[in-house]
Amino acid sequence: MCLIAFSLGQSPHFPLVVAANRDEFFKRPTASMDWWRLDNGQDILAGRDLLSGGTWLAVSREGIVSAVTNVREGTPEAGSRSRGELPLRALQQQPENLSAEFSADAGEYSGFNLVRLEETDGWYYSNRDAHPGRHIHRGLYGLSNHLLQTPWPKLLRLRAHVGEAVQAAGTDANDLHQSLIQLLQDTTPAPDRMLPDTGVGLETERFLSSPFITGEHYGTRATTIVTVSRIGDIQVSEQSWGPNAQKGDCQHFHWQR
């Protein structure tokens, strides 16, 4: 997962809205979003990384959303544990317990950002943050491959557009989902003068600078939208993508908390 925008308490109809693009190599084996059961018996809705067994974004029956992004580093050291474990851990424990655990074992993972989101607040942790483990409250947020709210151009573009869509939303979740899926297909590159320097080289920075990434071997593989309404109606849409932005299946899940 490489780009997430989320709204907490910014709409009278949808207190939680999450809009995300997952970017990955197309050859990495992946199972589409579906319900599966964790070892503790908890049911979650998530895609599955068939290489490492984890996920990048998961939703609980109660409408809690967890998601992870990597921190882009030029020569990252491989962690001894998969970052795909993190969203699963975030749904199985309360943030205060996670903070205590991560203080001991966060170094076992490569650089990551983790969010756990409920209707009007959330929790954020990064093992590259000087002050890891903090609560976040009402507002509009963006997360890419640096720290929360780092003003990379694609984050600023998506966060602004998602904020406008949420503010304009009526009571129809389907309309909001379709609008957000369209917004997440933004292929506008950032000007060179605004590109970050993360140690991967100028050409790669350019390639990765748009909200939606189109490529033959690497690119956006899934666009995921989650809305939780004020009456506990939960809807999740996921549009899959193949090489060169070839459109795949679109799944929709709907339940009442």
Amino acid at 220: T
pLDDT at 6 over 90: yes
Let me know: does 26 contact 232? Beta carbons within 8 Å. no
Q: What is the pTM of this model?
A: 0.96
% of residues, the chain, pLDDT over 70: 100
The domain defined by 3-256 carries CATH number 3.60.60.10: yes
Using alpha carbons only, how large is the chain's radius of gyration in Å?
Answer: 17
pLDDT at 76 over 80: no
pLDDT at 31 over 80: yes
| pLDDT at residue 234, as a whole number | 98
The mean pLDDT of 208-218, rounded to a whole number, is 97
Q: Which residues of 102-129 are buried (b: 16+ CB within 10 A; e: fewer)?
A: beeebeebbbbbbbbbbbebbbbbbbeb
pLDDT at 189 over 90: yes
Instruction: Tell me how crowded residue 131 is: count the other CB atoms within 10 A of its CB.
Output: 6
Torsion angle (degrees, nearest 10) of CA 197, 137, 162, 167: -150
Q: How many CA atoms lie within 13 A of 148 on its CB side?
A: 24
**Quick one: tokens of 102?**
């991560």
Distance CA 33, CA 236 (A): 10
| pLDDT at residue 120, as a whole number | 86
| pLDDT at residue 79, as a whole number | 83
% of residues, the chain, pLDDT over 90: 90
Q: Which of 4-18, 52-66, 69-83, 170-184 has the lowest mean pLDDT?
A: 69-83
| pLDDT at residue 1, as a whole number | 64
Let me know: does 3 contact 21? Beta carbons within 8 Å. yes
Distance CA 58, CA 90 (A): 9
| pLDDT at residue 106, as a whole number | 86
pLDDT band at 78 (very low <50, low <70, confident <90, very high): confident
The mean pLDDT of 225-248, rounded to a whole number, is 97
Mean pLDDT of the chain: 95
Q: In what order do the strands lie in the sheet with 112-117?
A: 30-37, 43-49, 57-60, 65-70, 112-117, 122-126, 134-136
Distance CA 190, CA 4 (A): 17
pLDDT in tens, 130-148: 989 999 999 999 999 999 9
pLDDT at 75 over 80: no
Please, which residues have CB within 8 angstroms of residue 147's CB and are 6 or more apart in sequence? 71, 113, 126, 128, 129
Nearest CA to 117 out of 145, 146, 148 is that of 148
How many H helices and E strands in the chain? 5, 13
| pLDDT at residue 103, as a whole number | 86
Provide the residue ranges of all domains of the chain, joining segments of one domain with +: 3-256
